């Protein structure tokens, strides 16, 4: 064949071909449903027809006390849920990772696995198991406390308004503490030996080595973990639903945005589902999460110092 | 699920096919239902009994899963492929089908006169003019007690509230048994077994319920707050940590013989009979003074209607008239103890506990749960709020007055009674 010389550079089809699967799948299962939800939130079912009502659903959500009280309550609870995770789960995760990466620790592979196992359990199992553990009737918790003479400390935590949400947050922490641990553990392992050795030459060892050398180096990972926790917590639903039911009792004290959305969207018992109001709540959740992620990306991440080795 | 459906379909067609061979004039009726649990009862008892009396009509019971039933039925009705007979959920779900023209008006069906107005209320238009389902079964609220425990402590079955609380005090003082097995964790126990159980005695059953719907009474009235005041008094008699006690916990606590009294719905009878190792008895919600009229919650739960598009409407009506007959009621109520026929004709039942429950219909007046008809259509949903507030009252986190006020405020925000 005679060689054909084209002056123009050929269109690079392979780029499109390689991108196509990801773009198509992502569009089909993420972007379209998201757009569908946003669209649904702008409509209302009036006499069996979907009618465009603009932002009317949001006005109901924030203006009608029947909705707004529940919404703010859910948002407040959700924020507390998140705070507990940030204050308990992530520091414990970092601590466990620091302990695990210590060369003197024996059986570290065993601990690593054992601590990570709850993460891969189903919410249904975790919710049910903890409900049983904390059960005042057959649970091991009152019994164990009794053995050490602290029975008086036991209360039916999951049934008390003032404790239920905190108890559930801690259950969730127990389940997911493996994730920050693994990520930080990986980050700690990637710190080059030379840096550590140089620190040791300068006389920085032990705790101060962790605070002054290792912690600054793993800060970007901690940032990523915080944002993952944020997104995960504001999307949470399963644990509350399996442990407390869709009404998130007692007295809505464990109601978070996920359960509130569920009741609005699908209905519950005699309450008929309202997909449009549900979509409005889902949109608000999207906005909250988007806002949080943006704050992180533009305000926090740009200020984090990165070290290249 | 798919295989099940396929089997059912194949089974259906094979029956259809063989029926066609046997007798060309045979009519086959299909029943839509969510009660897959009842398949054996229908196949072995109910349908043969009907077919023996009505040669020429074949009946096929074709249930789908409870969670799929409403959606599947809606789709089938829209496509015109739904069965001739439709099992009806109570209140709004069936009313909606009737309004859409999917269910036929059965007000004039022979046999409907066998039912009281309360029994029919779950499947009527709001004005009560048209009925569209034959009532099949209801569940009755009351208290089931551990007979052995009562005998041992020398407690007589309480008739009045004072006797009731005296009995509870005695059980508590003795300490062997937890006086009452109920928890507030699942919320609905407090509302359904608590408020709706003892409430009718205060608000005078149907009178109060109708007045509430009309707007003549409010949930903040004395008759509606008083049941909450009684519930608040239950707290000391419940087990340790009742705030985190779930519904299955309560059931186990009672059937294991650790609790003396169980605020119950009659649907428990079947399970309790198989699990409890002691003798059980039941009593209706105690009244204020001996000799007062008693009221019970006799809640309509399941009915059967006619698909308006059915090609075999006449045969289907014959079947529905049979469903409305005492014959059907006897077979059904005995096969499922605790699900009582709504038929006015007395039904002979073998189960003593079920007999006890149903005997109250003779001496007490029946009503249904106050929140189910009309009042739970809006936001906030009155039934759901009643769950939450009943649990709050028992937990002591809300006073009876505050709970009643919250419910009424919520109801007022969307419900305008027709004057």
Q: Averaged over B219-226, what is the pLDDT?
A: 95
Host H or E run for residue A46: strand A43-46
Residue B14 has pLDDT above 60, yes or no: no
A22-36, A70-84, B2-16: the lowest-pLDDT one: B2-16
Segment A246-260, tens digit of pLDDT: 899 899 999 999 999
In the CATH hierarchy, which fold is given to the domain comprising B140-298+369-412?
D-Maltodextrin-Binding Protein; domain 2 (3.40.190)
Highest mean pLDDT: which of A150-164, B140-154, B267-281? B140-154
Residues of B in contact with A131 (CB under 8 A): 246
Which residues touch A78 (CB under 8 Å, ≥6 apart)? A233, A234, A236, A256, A257
Q: Look at chain B and count its residues.
A: 419
For residue B71 the two structure tokens come to 């959606």
Higher pLDDT, A47 or B262: B262
pLDDT at A105: 87
Homologous superfamily (CATH) for B2-137+301-348: Periplasmic binding protein-like II (3.40.190.10)
Residue B153 has pLDDT above 50, yes or no: yes
Residue B115 has pLDDT above 80, yes or no: yes
A67/B379 Cβ within 8 A: yes
List the domain boundaries for chain B.
Answer: 2-137+301-348, 140-298+369-412
Is residue A31 classed as helix, strand or coil in its secondary structure? helix
B384/A268 Cβ within 8 A: yes
pLDDT at A4: 59
Residues of B in contact with A137 (CB under 8 A): 239-241, 245, 249, 252-253
Mutant choice from B243, B259, B407 vs A, greatest count of A C-beta within 10 A = B243
Is residue A54 classed as helix, strand or coil in its secondary structure? coil
How many angstroms away from the CA of B382 is the closest CA of chain A? 9
CA–CA distance from A189 to each of A99, A102, A104, B6 (Å)?
12, 10, 14, 56
How many angstroms away from the CA of A21 is the closest CA of chain B? 31
Residue B7 has pLDDT above 70, yes or no: no
Residue B290 has pLDDT above 50, yes or no: yes
Say whether B140-298+369-412 and B2-137+301-348 share the same fold: yes
pLDDT at A308: 61
Q: For residues B57 and B384, what is the distance between their CA atoms, to the nearest angstrom?
A: 43
B392/A135 Cβ within 8 A: no
| Chain A residue closest in CA terms to B383 | A270
For residue A151 the two structure tokens come to 């029975």
Which residues touch B156 (CB under 8 Å, ≥6 apart)? B150, B163, B167
Q: Averaged over A3-28, what is the pLDDT?
A: 84
Which candidate from A136, A142, A250 shows the least CB-CB separation from B395?
Answer: A250
Contact B329, B302 (CB under 8 A): no
Segment A186-209, tens digit of pLDDT: 999 999 989 989 999 999 888 898
Segment A13-23, tens digit of pLDDT: 899 999 999 99
B92/A250 Cβ within 8 A: no
In this prediction, residue B3 has a pLDDT band, given cuts at 50, 70 and 90, of: low
pLDDT at A304: 73
pLDDT at B18: 44
CA–CA distance from B336 to each of B114, B247, B251, B320, B382 (Å)?
20, 21, 19, 19, 30
Residue B13 has pLDDT above 60, yes or no: no
User: Chain B: which residues have CB within 8 Å of chain A?
Assistant: 92, 183-188, 239-246, 249, 252-253, 371-372, 376-377, 379-384, 387-388, 391-392, 395, 397-398, 410, 413-414
For residue B146 the two structure tokens come to 């551990």
Residue B391 has pLDDT above 70, yes or no: yes
A47-56, B12-21, B346-355: the lowest-pLDDT one: B12-21
Q: For residues A136 and B224, what is the distance between their CA atoms, to the nearest angstrom?
A: 32
Q: For residues B141 and B264, what is the distance between their CA atoms, to the nearest angstrom?
A: 6
For residue A233 the two structure tokens come to 């917590």
Is residue A295 classed as helix, strand or coil in its secondary structure? helix
B186/A142 Cβ within 8 A: no
Which residues touch B384 (CB under 8 Å, ≥6 apart)? A247, A263, A268, A269, A270, A271, B376
How many angstroms away from the CA of B398 is the closest CA of chain A? 10
pLDDT averaged over every residue in chain B: 89
Answer whether CATH 3.40.50.970 is correct for domain A56-303. no
Segment B183-209, tens digit of pLDDT: 999 999 999 999 999 999 999 999 999
pLDDT averaged over every residue in chain A: 90
Q: Averaged over A264-271, what is the pLDDT?
A: 83
Q: What is the pTM of this model?
A: 0.84
For residue B69 the two structure tokens come to 């039933």
């Amino acid at each position: 064949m005679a060689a054909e010389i084209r002056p123009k550079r050929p269109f690079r089809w392979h780029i499109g071909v390689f991108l196509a699967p990801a773009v198509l799948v992502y569009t089909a299962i993420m972007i379209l449903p998201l757009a569908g939800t946003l669209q649904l939130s702008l409509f209302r079912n009036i006499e069996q027809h979907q009618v465009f009502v603009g932002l009317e659903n949001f006005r109901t959500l924030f203006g009608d006390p029947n909705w707004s009280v529940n919404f703010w309550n859910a948002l407040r609870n959700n924020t507390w849920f998140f705070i507990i995770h940030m204050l308990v789960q992530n520091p414990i995760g970092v601590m466990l990772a620091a302990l695990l990466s210590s060369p003197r620790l024996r059986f570290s592979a065993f601990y690593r696995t054992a601590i990570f196992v709850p993460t891969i359990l189903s919410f249904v199992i975790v919710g049910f198991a903890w409900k049983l553990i904390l059960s005042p009737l057959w649970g091991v918790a009152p019994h164990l406390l009794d053995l050490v003479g602290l029975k008086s400390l036991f209360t039916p935590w999951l049934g008390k308004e003032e404790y239920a949400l905190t108890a559930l947050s801690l259950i969730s922490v127990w389940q997911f503490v493996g994730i920050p641990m693994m990520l930080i553990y990986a980050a700690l392992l990637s710190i080059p030996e030379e840096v550590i050795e140089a620190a040791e030459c300068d006389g920085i060892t032990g705790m101060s080595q962790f605070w002054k050398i290792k912690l600054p180096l793993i800060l970007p990972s901690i940032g990523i973990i915080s944002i993952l926790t944020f997104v995960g917590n504001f999307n949470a639903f399963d644990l509350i639903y399996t442990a407390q039911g869709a009404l998130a009792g007692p007295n809505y004290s464990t109601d978070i945005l996920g359960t509130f959305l569920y009741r609005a969207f699908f209905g519950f018992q005699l309450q008929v589902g309202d997909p449009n109001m549900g979509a409005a709540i889902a949109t608000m959740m999207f906005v909250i999460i988007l806002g949080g992620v943006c704050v992180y990306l533009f305000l926090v991440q740009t200020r984090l110092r990165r070290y290249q080795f | 699920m798919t295989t099940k459906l396929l089997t059912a379909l194949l089974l259906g067609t094979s029956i259809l096919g063989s029926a066609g061979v046997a007798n060309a004039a045979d009519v086959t009726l299909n029943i839509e239902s969510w009660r897959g649990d009842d398949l054996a009862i229908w196949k072995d008892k109910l349908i043969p009994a009907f077919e023996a009396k009505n040669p020429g009509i074949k009946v096929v019971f074709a249930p789908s899963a409870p969670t799929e039933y409403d959606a599947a039925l809606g789709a089938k009705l829209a496509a015109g492929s739904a069965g001739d007979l439709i099992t009806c959920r109570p209140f709004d779900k069936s009313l909606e089908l009737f309004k859409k023209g999917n269910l036929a008006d059965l007000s004039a069906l022979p046999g409907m006169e066998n039912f009281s107005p309360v029994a029919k209320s779950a499947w009527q238009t709001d004005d009560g003019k048209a009925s569209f389902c034959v009532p099949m079964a209801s569940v009755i609220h009351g208290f089931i007690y551990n007979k052995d425990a009562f005998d041992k402590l020398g407690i007589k079955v309480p008739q009045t509230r004072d006797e009731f609380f005296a009995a509870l005090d005695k059980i508590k003082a003795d300490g062997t048994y937890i006086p009452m097995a109920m928890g507030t964790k699942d919320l609905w126990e407090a509302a359904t077994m608590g408020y709706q159980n003892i409430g009718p005695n205060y608000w005078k059953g149907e009178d109060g319920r109708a007045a509430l719907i009309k707007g003549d009474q409010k949930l903040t009235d004395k008759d509606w707050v008083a049941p909450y005041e009684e519930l608040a008094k239950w707290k000391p008699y419940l087990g340790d940590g009742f705030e985190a006690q779930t519904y299955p916990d309560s059931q186990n606590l009672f059937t294991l013989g650790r609790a003396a009294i169980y605020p119950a719905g009659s649907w428990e009878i079947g399970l309790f009979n198989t699990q409890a190792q002691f003798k059980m008895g039941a009593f209706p919600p105690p009244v204020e003074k001996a000799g007062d009229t008693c009221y019970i919650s006799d809640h309509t739960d399941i009915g059967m209607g006619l698909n308006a598009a059915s090609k075999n409407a006449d045969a289907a009506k014959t079947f529905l008239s049979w469903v409305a007959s005492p014959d059907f009621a006897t077979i059904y109520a005995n096969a499922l103890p605790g699900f009582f026929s709504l038929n006015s004709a007395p039904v002979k039942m073998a189960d003593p506990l079920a007999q006890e429950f149903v005997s109250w219909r003779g001496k007490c007046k029946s009503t249904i749960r106050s929140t189910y008809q009309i009042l739970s259509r809006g936001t906030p949903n009155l039934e759901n709020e009643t769950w939450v507030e009943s649990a709050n009252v028992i937990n002591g986190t809300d006073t009876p007055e505050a709970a009643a006020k919250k419910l009424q405020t919520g109801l007022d925000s969307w419900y305008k009674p027709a004057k």
